[in-house]
Structure 1
Amino acid sequence: MSNSKVQITAIILVLSFFAFFALAPFFFMLISSFKPGDQIIKNGISASIDFDIMSLQNYKTLFTERSGIYLHWYKNSVLITTIQTAVAVFLSSWVGYGLAVYEFKGKNLIFVLVLVLMMVPIEILILPLYKLSITLKIIDSYAGVILPFIVPPVAVFFFRQFAVGLPTELIDAARIDGASEFAIFFKIMMPLMKPAYGAMIILQAMFSWNAFVWPLIVLRSNENFTLPIGLASLITPYGNSYDMLFSGAVISVVPIIILFMFKQNSFISGLTVGGVKG
């Protein structure tokens, strides 16, 4: 066996090892979602498959218990994730493109501020963001969850690094032909940034879908909860709804899996090309 085949085999084995440990918790959760809640409490979370006690009752309970509150949580997460991802990716690409292509006073200072914001923990920003949300009267609303993170610094940095490698000759040629700056961006540069858009759509969607701390602070009513908050509310000192918790957690990962399946090529190429150009 040649050295290249040995290396490939070793890489496959190592990646399979890590993949097993990454997927094992989800497999345990999937098996537990078909078991009654009292069995989970009695025997704990395990990978044992017992068809005598396993059924779809947990999923039926999920959509009928508490007047179908799970569907409200699901709708809230889908709407917030869709809006926040679309707007954040679009605005971040504008900012990143501007920092990469144009020369203006204060450009380097803005980029440094972007880097600083990337290093600031969200916990430090919670209090000022909360006070600002109260002033703007956006508490317990979609706007309260979306607006504070409408232009994420990580996305700005990513698009800036990607746009640095774009051919400026195309921009100069378009300007000579009389194209406006908006036309250059939308018709020429945006198609070239398609891999970056694909990668950042997945990353931003995952961030929005899994967000917990800030939505927990800004959302008040049970009907406005997102999925992470709603599922967390099922665990209380007065009783735990494991039936809904595990089945709800399984269904909650479906949108992200579907999104990744459609965007995985752009995701991989976007991260690879962006990393090389950066």
Structure 2
Amino acid sequence: MNKRGTSNALKWFTNIGMAIVCLIALFPVIMLLISSFRPSTELMRTGISLNFDWSMLNLDNYTYIFTQSAEYWTWYTNSLVISAITIVLSLFFSSMVGYALAVYDFKGKHLFFTFVVFILMVPFEILMLPLFQMMISFQLVNSYLGVIIPMIVAPIAVFFFRQYALGLPVQLMDAARIDGATEYGIFFKIMLPLMAPSLGAMAILQGLGSWNNFLWPLIVLRSNDMFTLPIGLATLLTPYGNNYDVLIAGSVMTIVPIIILFIFFQRYFVAGLTTGGVKG
């Protein structure tokens, strides 16, 4: 077999292997999607499996969600609001901090960056108690701000933006200063547009983290009308009964915002991760 034939065969094997991996990764999602069209009584009897009467598939679960489950959409709205605000504030503040650590020289710069790296290695569970005490002191328990504030300057985002900003052309900064631009003007008008790939990649990662966050909102939020989707869906599983009508179909609906977010930022995602990961 010549080199071209070997290359084509290798490409086919690679594509087949990746297709198998994708199917394995998507299998739980496919099972969840199929189960969302099954009656709740059937789910209680056989569970999530392929061993059921396929003629029983219907849209009743989704009809119930859209017509009779007002609390589900309250949770959905809470998650959307919290995630949207978290993404915007996290990108804004984390990009500024990472940019400053990359392009400016100031006293304590390396020590500050060391703290950022150190916090990356500290499990969030260790920080929960002092953070909760702070939220009590600020009277932010059972509020959007109580969930959002501890997440707006994420160490991983600061580290990521710092690595990406190390590759920005400093000559543009010098030219802008000669033209009379302020440091804020340089950042917002020149450097921030150049950081678009990193912003897109981090928007997906921060959005995914905020949307799926369960532990911290569970600690801070108290009332049912303030719950986010992960907490709200968890309350449907009780020792006295399980509301599978909302639980399964509602879980499928939670995937939609993440898909939209990825589609919107996907062209930046790979470029942002690869470029940010190799800067010194």
TM range (shorter): over 0.9
Distance in 2 (alpha carbons) for counterparts of 1:12 and 1:49: 33
Q: What whole-Å deviation, never above 9, does each CA across 1:144-198 have from its counterpart, x for those lacking one?
A: 1000111000000000000001111111111111111011111110111010001
Gaps of 5+ in 2: none
Within-5 A mapping of 1:157-168: 157-168=159-170
Moved more, 39-48 or 138-147: 39-48
Which residue number corresponds to residue 16 of structure 2? 13
**In terms of mean alpha carbon deviation, does 201-210 or 42-51 score higher?**
42-51
2: CA distance, partners of 1:86 / 1:204: 10
1:58 correspondence with 2:61 = yes
* Number of residues of Structure 1 aligned to a counterpart in Structure 2: 277
Task: Look up the equivalent residue of 2:85 and give its one-letter code.
Answer: I
Aligned residues of 2:87 and 2:206 also touching (Cα < 8 A): yes
Counterparts of 2:92 and 2:6, CA distance in 1: 46
Q: Aligned partners of 1:7 and 1:157: how far apart in 2?
A: 37
Show CA shifts across 1:183-226 (max 9, x none): 11111101110100010001000010000000011001011100
Aligned counterparts of 2:52 and 2:10: Cα–Cα separation in 1: 37
* Partner in structure 2 of residue 27 of structure 1: 30
Q: State the partner residue of 1:128.
A: 130
Q: For 2:54 and 2:20, how far apart are their aligned partners in 1?
A: 29
The code of the aligned residue for 2:162 comes to R
2:23 corresponds to which letter in structure 1? F
**2: CA distance, partners of 1:120 / 1:63:** 41
Q: Which amino acid is the alignment partner of residue 177 of structure 1? A: D
- 3-state secondary structure, aligned to 1:151: coil
Match of residue 44 from structure 2: 41
Residue identity opposite 2:254 in structure 1: S
Residues 47/261 of structure 1: CA separation in 2 closer, same or farther (3 Å cut): farther
Residue number among 246, 249, 254 corresponding to 1:247 in the alignment: 249
Q: Could you say what secondary structure the match of 1:195 adopts?
A: helix
Could you tell me how far apart the structure 1 residues matched to 2:191 and 2:137 are?
38
Secondary structure of residue in 1 paired with 2:56: coil
Give the whole-Å Cα distance in 1 for the aligned partners of 2:205 and 2:164. 15
Gaps of 5+ in 1: none
Post-superposition offset of 1:49 = 7.0
Equivalents in 1 of 2:270, 2:37: separation in Å? 34
- Give the CA RMSD over aligned residues: 1.3
What residue is the counterpart of 1:212 in the other structure? 214
Instruction: Please point out which of 93, 96, 104 is paired with 1:94.
Output: 96
Assess if the C-alpha contact under 8 Å between 1:36 and 1:243 holds in 2: yes
TM-score by length of 1: 0.96
TM value normalised by structure 2: 0.96
C-alpha separation between the residues in 2 aligned to 1:5 and 1:90? 46
Residue 34 of structure 1: SS of its match in structure 2?
coil
Identity of aligned pairs, percent? 54
